[in-house]
Amino acid sequence: MKYNKVNERIIRRLKKIVGERNVTTDPEKLEIYSHDEEGHPRVEVMPEVVVFPETTQQVSKIMKLANEELIPVTPRGAGTGLSGGAVPLYRGIVLSLEKMNRILELDEKNLTITVEPGVVTGEIQKFANRHGLLYAGDPCSGDSSFIGGNVAENAGGNKVIKYGPTGSHVLGLEVVLPNGEVTFFGGKRVKDVTGYNFVQLMIGSEGTLGIVTKIVLRLLPLPKYVVDLLVPFKTMKEAIDFVPIIVREGKIVPTSIEFMDRPSLLLTEQFLNAKLPYDDAEAQLIIELEGNNKSAVEDDYERIGNLCFEHGALEVFVADNRNTRERIWRIRKSIAEAVNALYPANCLEDVVVPTSNIPELMREVDEISRKHNVKAISYGHAGDGNVHVTFLKDEKDSEEVWIKKLKAALEDLYSITKNLGGTISGEHGIGLKRRDYVELVLDKAQIELIKSVKRAFDPNLILNPGKIVRFE
């Protein structure tokens, strides 16, 4: 791909579109926009210019200009991505959506909320809650990530088994196409078979097909009662085998079914400087239940609790108030922080396998760990088979050795995941990080379809080039 450089004339035109204050070429500022939160190693590329449009019209004009001048544009949300999706690989323009951060409308009659892409997801949740409603999208990064980024990555999180990933809540999208045209896919409706489902095609397309400038989200009733169970199991197999039993015999789809392996727990203990109960158990489940009827929620957790004991749980800790609930989730949510604090060089994965294959995956991860002599911990979303295998750099290893070991370990992890009927990314995206592994899990026909659909939307390949698949 051959792109043009951002010259003075382009800068002047950009300034004319978004105003002087919304264009920066200051190297210190550009550096912030050269990477996302991908682990270590990560790719960093300095953009030539960063623009901060405030309206759809401005985004449209920027795209029209870039498309005519053949300048690559990389859209960016909060920069909290984990797969290098917001890295401006071919330099050019980074189009930051941070100034398009308004909640535009709460429609209490149709139970929708319409927002700009730069709103922090947690703000949408809080706003809905204040009106007695729930925005059920809940990525773990919700306190910092933008809804636009959630849409671009089809962000998941802890509540996907009950509510689905981000895409399940999106009814409509205003989109600026790569040539600057503005269109609107979908609308305030859960049913729509007028043409192809471009709403869902946009979701998870990692900013390669268009720039989302407005999002219509569906809202649900806010549950009043929430209970969490922390359940240690002697073996990983017992823990995972229990997951479908919750649904089949427990007759319920919980809000969350999370798991942590023993190394994750030990690491978190070390980080929190605390001793946790049953830290010799091979696996811990967190099961979250919720509802609006107190006695029904109580019935649910008693039933699930009894089932736990019947199926080998060592203990069932029940947290039915905010304080105890937060204590349980603190463990789960501190894992990533503990990893980053104790192993600043690490690689966080998000492979996904059919849930029943998690124990086999865990055995294979142990094997990979031994084979390549690289530490690994695993935790994540047991309910949907999405496992955060995380490789940790041993401080004794040189940078070069770590990169070599990691590459070999990732290749094995991805191959095994594929063999177990899974895929290499459940919620973080392909971006740059996994681009060269896509062919492991998608066949040639699919790669060709990705390329031709990309060209259908973006014939000049100017939007977020170099992501998901290679064109050259």
For 417, the token pair is 């995941």
Question: Residue 375: helix, strand or coil by DSSP?
Answer: strand
Task: Single out the residue of 44, 244, 272, 276 in contact with a copy of itself (rule: CB under 8 A).
Answer: 244
- 445 interacts with a copy of itself by CB under 8 A: yes
CA distance readout (Å), 353 to 18, 310, 380, 414, 424: 45, 26, 12, 11, 9
- Stretch of 45-53, 256-264, 380-388, 399-407 lying at the interface with a copy of itself (CB under 8 A): 380-388
- 423 interacts with a copy of itself by CB under 8 A: yes
- Stretch of 49-57, 259-267, 307-315, 377-385 lying at the interface with a copy of itself (CB under 8 A): 377-385
Number of H helices, E strands in the chain: 15, 19
Our CB check for a copy of itself shows the closer of 205 and 268 to be: 205
- 306 interacts with a copy of itself by CB under 8 A: no
22: Cβ contacts below 8 Å, ≥ 6 apart: 51, 52, 53, 54, 99
Our CB check for a copy of itself shows the closer of 286 and 352 to be: 352
Which residues, 199 to 238, sit near a copy of itself by CB under 8 A? Answer: 200-201, 203-206, 209, 220-224
The DSSP bridge pattern shows strands 317-319 and 225-233 to be antiparallel
The total of other beta-carbon atoms located within 10 Å of residue 284's CB is: 29
Q: Which helix (H) or strand (E) holds 359?
A: helix 358-372
Q: How far is the CB of 150 from a copy of itself (least distance, A)?
A: 11
Task: Single out the residue of 12, 421, 436, 471 in contact with a copy of itself (rule: CB under 8 A).
Answer: 421
Cα first-last separation, the chain: 7
352 beta partners: 386, 423
- The DSSP letter of residue 423 is B
- 302 interacts with a copy of itself by CB under 8 A: no
Task: Single out the residue of 8, 21, 295, 396 in contact with a copy of itself (rule: CB under 8 A).
Answer: 295
The total of other beta-carbon atoms located within 10 Å of residue 215's CB is: 27
Task: Please tell me the count of residues contacting a copy of itself according to CB under 8 A.
Answer: 97
Our CB check for a copy of itself shows the closer of 323 and 456 to be: 456
Our CB check for a copy of itself shows the closer of 15 and 64 to be: 64
- The DSSP letter of residue 20 is G
Q: Left, alpha or beta for 325 (phi > 0: left; psi -120 to 50: alpha)?
A: alpha
Task: Single out the residue of 250, 263, 305, 465 in contact with a copy of itself (rule: CB under 8 A).
Answer: 250
- 307 interacts with a copy of itself by CB under 8 A: no
Which residues, 1 to 40, sit near a copy of itself by CB under 8 A? Answer: none
- 370 interacts with a copy of itself by CB under 8 A: no
Which residues, 37 to 96, sit near a copy of itself by CB under 8 A? Answer: none
Q: Left, alpha or beta for 39 (phi > 0: left; psi -120 to 50: alpha)?
A: beta
Which residues, 315 to 344, sit near a copy of itself by CB under 8 A? Answer: none
Q: How far is the CB of 326 from a copy of itself (least distance, A)?
A: 24
Our CB check for a copy of itself shows the closer of 401 and 440 to be: 440
Could you identify the residue written with the tokens 């492991």?
Answer: 440
Q: Which helix (H) or strand (E) holds 37?
A: none
Task: Single out the residue of 7, 25, 197, 306 in contact with a copy of itself (rule: CB under 8 A).
Answer: 197
Which residues, 99 to 128, sit near a copy of itself by CB under 8 A? Answer: 107-112
Q: How far apart are CA 413 and CA 245, in angstroms?
A: 28
Our CB check for a copy of itself shows the closer of 241 and 412 to be: 241
Task: Single out the residue of 106, 266, 314, 450 in contact with a copy of itself (rule: CB under 8 A).
Answer: 450
- Compute the radius of gyration of the chain from its Cα atoms: 23
> Is-cis flag, bond preceding 41, omega within 30?
yes
Our CB check for a copy of itself shows the closer of 56 and 356 to be: 356
For 154, the token pair is 């089809």
Q: How far apart are CA 150 and CA 384, in angstroms?
A: 18
Is 350 within 8 Å of 388 (Cβ atoms)? yes
Which residues, 131 to 150, sit near a copy of itself by CB under 8 A? Answer: 132-133
String of contacts with a copy of itself for each residue 148-187, x by CB under 8 A: -----xx-x---xx--xx-xx--------x---x-xxx-x
Q: How far is the CB of 397 from a copy of itself (least distance, A)?
A: 29
Q: How far is the CB of 339 from a copy of itself (least distance, A)?
A: 21
Q: How far is the CB of 70 from a copy of itself (least distance, A)?
A: 20
Q: How far apart are CA 424 and CA 429, in angstroms?
A: 9
- Stretch of 120-128, 143-151, 287-295, 391-399 lying at the interface with a copy of itself (CB under 8 A): 287-295
- 189 interacts with a copy of itself by CB under 8 A: yes
DSSP track, 426-459: SSS--TTTTGGGHHHHS-HHHHHHHHHHHHHH-T
